[in-house]
Chains A and B, each alone.
Chain A
Amino acid sequence: MRVLKWEWREHRSEAIKQGWYKFSRNPLSVVGLCIVVVIAFIAAFAPYVTPHPEHAGPYVDFSIARQQPSLKHLLGTDRFGRDVLTRIAFGFRYSLLLAVTIIVLSVPVGVGIGLLAGYYHGTWIDRILMRVTDIFLAVPPLILALAVTAVLTPGLFNAAMALSIAWWTWYARLVYGIAASYRNEYFVRSAEVLGERWPHIVFREILPNCISSIFTKMSLDMGMAILVGSALSFLGLGAQAPTPDLGTMVADGSKYLPDLWWIAVFPAFAIMITVLGFNLLGDGLRDMFAIEEL
């Protein structure tokens, strides 16, 4: 027993080593990983790494308002005198929080529906579930999310909920395709012959085969979710002032564009870099797992 466990552990460390080798072959993936780690670090320790943590909230000091980037305020100050650098660091928190919430809300639903429809491929369960999915895909996700947020009170959590309503469909589609392709494999058939019930087959036999695709899609989606989430807050339907949200900051700054350019431009770059990091990381994972259907 002990030997078995040891062997398994050895095997796992070997697998990790091989995975890392494949992953690090592409320098861009490593760059992506670094960006994500740095941003996650900044977000986690925002109060300790920023010069003016008190500027994250409702802070007003008009005597230092609208200052250009300088040594004292590296990225300038906004129209209330708040340090833009500090607010961007705190903005990462809300962007990551939003993306994680979207994924936590939408992945279980999408994966569950995709697995069921894929396992019952060709039956009425499949037809009903996938037709419902098609309905949600019949309208661009951002617009569906906008319609839902318009009905709810604007806020970070409601924005995440609205986006999840449109988001789960992608996971349903992805997992459905994989599950349907495994449905007639021998290991699924054997489990059926052994008399296993559907929860065992769906979650213990089919799901493990979808995990790498799901994780890769999640990594790519983190970037996408941050991107779309910032679009919602740009329109004022996401996090509300004085929350330092990157999209809200760009929207706020774009009102003062030619003169106070730094208020809008630096948060805009922050969004770009965050999304870029997650995209590079996701692409690296995709190459590592050799997934084609994403």
Chain B
Amino acid sequence: MLGFLGRRIALSVFGLLGLSLLIFSISRVLPGDPVRMAVGPRAPEWVAENIREQMHLDKPIYIQYYYWVRGALRGDFGYSLYSRRPVSRDLKEFLPATGELAVFTSLIIAVIGIPLGVLAGRYSNSWIDNLVRVFCYFSASTPSFVFATLFLLLFSYVLHWFPIVGRISLSVPRPPVVTGMITVDGLISGNFTAFWNTLWHMVLPAISLALPGMAQVARITRASIYDNLGKDYIAFERGFGIPNRLIMSKFLLKPSLIPPVSILGLEVAVTLGNAFLVEFIFNWPGFSRYGINTMLQKDLNAMSAVVMVIGVIFVIVNIFVDVAVAFLDPKIRLGSGRRA
């Protein structure tokens, strides 16, 4: 298990190093002069020259890369040319909002997606299976931004069930900042109004984000439950007279969860990507909306930082997923059959 984890982490570090090289090269082939774009056309040449020197843009490209990686390791991504603040400060401000949205989304995916799949697999070819199948097809075929737009129209503008945009109503006092996640801060400080209000704001964006992932998870859970139900060991347990409920909960569920858990990492990737659009639509003041703005503004430092941070999050999530799979699958945990 430790060796498995060590090898996994070493590979991830290598991957991140490669990613940094990739992102760095993408951000440096930008046509046009980023310094000129930042200072404007009328600034005198010496001002541009100074900034260029500050950002090491006058040095050869490999030295620029060295400075960039050294800074990134210290959490220093330089100044954002767009917000004119250190990028790390922007990240600190915007990450928690995305964090709580992402956690809420993942909860919805797991808590609704897996049971749906289990039901559909258990009662395969019944009306519930067909219903789940239709639901999966539609959710998997609809971009998150389409869901977001339709939900916004239906539930906010027409039915007025949910707030239109933003993170918390202006009338609700914000709890003191501890983690930056309003829901958590609200619970810590006992400000339950803020907690419920933020949760209420989160429902529509989180559901729009969760639906595609939920469909995938439900589909894969269904397939794996269905496969395992036909296996000999289940027939044996049935023949042995073990009650159906016990078979379901004790013998069927755990091995059937391996495929859906192993694709969770992929779903996180899709969700992080979609968050870029959904936060944009719901005006959720998060990291992804910040990322979109930096990309639209061609803000080198902030853009590379955003992609790098997402890469790191993605890698960490995948390590956790691998550990969870190893926990579910003794073949991996005991190290006998390392999967290709």
Contact = CB atoms under 8 A, between A and B. Distances in A.
A276 B314 contact: no
Contacts of A137: 15
Given A151-B298, A258-B158, A143 B273 contact: yes
Given A235-B296, A257-B153, A151 B26 contact: yes
A272 B142 contact: yes
B47 interface: no
Given A150-B298, A231-B145, A272-B138, A132 B276 contact: no
A95 to B, nearest CB: 12
Nearest to B29: A151
B295 A150 contact: yes
Q: Mostly helix, strand, loop or mixed at chain A's interface?
A: helix
B303 A150 contact: yes
B157 A132 contact: no
A151 B30 contact: yes
A265 interface: yes
B164 to A, nearest CB: 9
A136 B22 contact: yes
Interface in B270-295: 270, 272-274, 276-277, 280-281, 291-292, 295
A221 B137 CA distance: 15
A110 interface: no
B340 interface: yes
B141 A138 contact: no
Given A147-B307, A271-B142, A272-B146, A142 B273 contact: yes
Interface of B is mostly: helix
A112 interface: no
B143 A148 contact: no
Contacts of B176: none
Interface in A201-243: 223, 227-228, 230-231, 234-237
A135 B141 contact: no
A157 interface: no
Nearest 7 pairs of A and B residues by beta carbon: A142-B273, A135-B18, A150-B295, A276-B141, A140-B269, A258-B157, A275-B141
9 contacts: A137-B15, A138-B12, A143-B272, A147-B23, A235-B296, A237-B295, A250-B146, A254-B281, A264-B153
